[in-house]
Amino acid sequence: MAAEGLDGFLLQNLENIGYFTGLFLEDVFGIITSREILLFAQPLVYQEALFYLSGNETVSDKNVGEGLCPLPNKTLPLNKLAALWDKKSIISGLKKIGLEPELPAGHFVKLQESFPTAYFELSLLPLQMRSVKDETEITLIRQASRITKNAFRQAQKMLKPGTKEEELALLLQGCMEKSGAGTAFPVIAASGERTFFPHAIPTTSRISNQDWVMVDFGAKYSGYCSDITRVFFPGKKDKQAAEILRILSAAKKAAEEKAGPGVPAKDVDAAGRNVLKKKGLDQYFIHGIGHGVGLSVHEEPILSPRSRDILKPGMVITLEPAVYIPGWGGMRMEDTYLVTKTGLENLTK
> Is the model's pLDDT at 105 over the cut of 90?
no
Domain 135-346, architecture per CATH: Alpha-Beta Complex (3.90)
> Is the model's pLDDT at 169 over the cut of 70?
yes
- Name the amino acid, one letter, at 202: P
Instruction: Please report, for the chain, the start and end positions of each structural domain, with discontinuous segments joined by +.
Output: 2-130, 135-346
Class of domain 2-130: alpha beta
> Is the model's pLDDT at 348 over the cut of 90?
yes
Highest mean pLDDT among 46-60, 103-117, 256-270: 256-270
Per DSSP, 30 falls in state E
Q: Is the pTM of this model over 0.85?
A: yes
Query: CA torsion 4→10→13→15, rounded to 10°?
Result: 60
Q: Do domains 2-130 and 135-346 have the same CATH topology?
A: no
CA angle 210, 201, 184 (to 5 degrees): 115
Contact 122, 101 (CB under 8 A): yes
Kindly report, residue by residue over 172-228, the tens digit of the pLDDT: 999 999 999 999 999 999 999 999 999 999 999 999 988 999 999 999 999 999 999
Q: How far apart are CA 260 and CA 268, in angstroms?
A: 9
